[in-house]
Structure 1
Amino acid sequence: MCIENKYPHAETTRIENTLGQRPKMFEIDMLVPNGDAFEIKWRDATTDGDHITKEHTRLKVIANAGYHPIRVMFYYPQREQARRIQKTLETLYAGVGGHYYFGDSAWQYVRDYTEVDLLAVLNRIASEKTHGE
Structure 2
Amino acid sequence: MSGELLFLPEKHATLRVVPMPADLNQNGDVFGGWVMAQVDVAGAIPAMRRARGRVATVSVNSFIFKQPISVGDIVSLYAEIERVGQTSITVRVEVFAERNYTNPVIVKVTEAELTYVAIDASGNKRQVPPENPVEME
Q: Is TM-score (shorter-chain normalized) higher than 0.5?
A: no
TM-score, scaled to structure 1: 0.25
Tell me which protein shows more strand as a share of its residues: 2
Tell me which protein shows more helix as a share of its residues: 1
TM-score, scaled to structure 2: 0.25
